[in-house]
Structure 1
Amino acid sequence: MGVDTENEGKWTSFESDLEDVAMFGYDPSEHDLGVRVVEAVGSVADIDETEIITPLNDAIDPEALDTLFVQGIGGRVSFPFIDYQVTVSVSENGTGRIYVE
């Protein structure tokens, strides 16, 4: 999985060192974390995120997810969403990565 040119400017996906794991960047000044998770899963599933019928809050509370990563703290959380395992890792500066496998 390389850079997604169709959604260029919206978000960027990166090839992961791990086989079968897609990695997506996250910047809280530009994106809502819950929305980014749904976009990332949609990209991996090769469907538009609006076609995902399972709400994210069936897997994790999006507001709780946001509060886990208050700028300056950082952290990591994993959870299943649809048919994928999602891991969100946020650095102390608030930027992070979303891994979908």
Structure 2
Amino acid sequence: MQSTAPHGEFEAQTFCVTHPFHPLAGRLFPVVEVRRNWSEECVYFRNGPGRLASIPLAWTSLSVLDPFFELSEGLALFRCEDLLALVRYLDSQREVGDDNT
């Protein structure tokens, strides 16, 4: 496995899972490797008794802070574009459900 990040950057570094709805939120893990998988960067770590696991880098303390969240100082939990995407998704699911009845 080849890392997309320089080895020295994450060597002996830890990260915290920051995604609020992830079951490991708030837990600290040592970084094994950071690399790009398909379209996103992931961080690999040992979860449990030596099991290798991965999580999107954006869901960790290693990611660059989104400027929207930084400027909103934690007062806005969701970006407008994310809420609109959720509405589109829910509408599409409703249409699928209507076709099955």
TM-score category (smaller protein): under 0.3
TM-score (norm. length: structure 2): 0.25
Larger radius of gyration, structure 1 or 2?
A: 2
The structure with more helix, counted as a fraction of residues: 2
TM-score (norm. length: structure 1): 0.25
Structure with more contact order per residue of length (Cα contacts < 8 Å, sep ≥ 6): 1
